[in-house]
Amino acid sequence: MYPQIRGRRLRRSEAIRRMVCETRLSADDFIYPLFVTHGVDVRREISSMPGNYQLSVDQLAPEICEIVALGIPAVILFGLPEHKDPTGSEGYARGGVVQQAVREIKRVAPELVVITDVCLCEYTDHGHCGVVDADGNVLNDPTVELLAEMAVSHACAGADLVAPSDMMDGRVGAIRAALDDEGFSETAIMSYAVKYASGFYGPFREAADSAPQFGDRRGYQMDPPNLREAIREADADLAEGADIIMVKPALAYLDVISAVAGAFSVPVAAYNVSGEFSMVKAAAEKGWIDERRVALEILTGIKRAGADMILTYHAKDAVRWLSET
């Protein structure tokens, strides 16, 4: 078409490379996940996720100061209860571990955005995301009630955003209504609207001690081959009042991130999940890949696909690497 310029390339001096760069990562893109647990003086490294720890509430302050100093704007909290039971009651207890952690973080760094994962799987003794019947089927409606209670207890502790991750039908609407009723109309909802039944959550189940004791989550999570269904799920959650839509996992679903970002005008979050992180770590440990280069390449790809924010275990390292370049 334009034979005279076909194949012509800008000579890529460093300055020109910066000028034509289309996707730029910064600390502002990241949300860092934290696992909080009972006890005192607990700082237990998660073996499959090097550099990530289960922390007791008293150990949070230095971690939070580090995150704030790096300029990361937000954390998402996951809780490990002292006791698990069939309905996951520590998940919605006012003095539960996540509720305590939110208060502590807000004391140390009121400006840090605190997001809480709203799901029962870490709190139930069977490891499913809700209440189950005698045959082990997850019961949607009673579960939704408990999730709404959990979201209110997080908001009450000071959470800025609640993130329901269970995929039950109608939970976003129920959570929105409960938050509004209790005077938390300012608390926003980041919905894990598009969550696939994925093998990439493996290390998280060790980190949060939340592997299902029987069956799997395919009954309530999406099937990996489906893309149009992602749009339907996002659409439904937005109609119920979600403020931010999340796609999870990220790496094998870049087309889904792109489609969701194109279809809706709300912010899109992508979860660069535990398995995606651990693969990079393990291969780097073996000397097969350059960790820094590959991690930044993956995060750039997720942003280029259309994510406005990325939940990632690489967050702290990524900010350090970015400041060195």
Q: How far apart are CA 283 and CA 291, in angstroms?
A: 8
Residue 274 binding ligand PBG, by CB under 6 A? yes
Of 104, 117, 149, 233, the one binding ligand PBG (CB under 6 A) is 117
What x/- string results for residues 212 through 241 when contact with ligand PBG is judged by CB under 6 A?
A: -----x------------------------
> Which helix (DSSP H) or strand (DSSP E) does residue 36 occupy?
strand 30-37
Nearer to ligand PBG, 108 or 301 (CB): 301
What is the token pair recorded at 128? 């499913």
How far apart (Å, rounded) are the C-alpha atoms in residues 70 and 112? 12
Total number of residues that touch ligand PBG (CB under 6 A)? 9
At position 238, the amino acid (one-letter code) is: L
Three-class SS state of 47: coil
SS3 133: coil
Nearest-5° Cα angle at 121, 117 to 127: 165
Query: In angstroms, what is the minimal distance from the CB of 9 to ligand PBG?
Result: 39
Q: Which of 77, 98, 121, 234 binds ligand PBG (CB under 6 A)?
A: 121
Q: How many residues does the chain have?
A: 325
State the nearest-atom distance from the C-beta of 312 to ligand PBG, in Å.
9
Nearer to ligand PBG by C-beta: 263 or 283?
Answer: 283
Which two structure tokens, joined as six digits, stand for 52?
């990530």
The crossing angle, in degrees rounded to 10, of helices 274-285 and 291-305 is 150
Is residue 84 annotated as a catalytic residue, yes or no? no
- Minimum CB separation of residue 275 from ligand PBG in Å reads 6
Active-site residue, selected from the candidate residues 84, 106, 248, 286 = 248
Q: From the list 64, 67, 119, 257, which residue makes contact with ligand PBG (rule: CB under 6 A)?
A: 119
The residues of the shown chain that bind ligand PBG, judged by CB under 6 A, are 117, 119, 121, 165, 201, 204, 217, 273-274
* Residues labelled catalytic: 195, 248
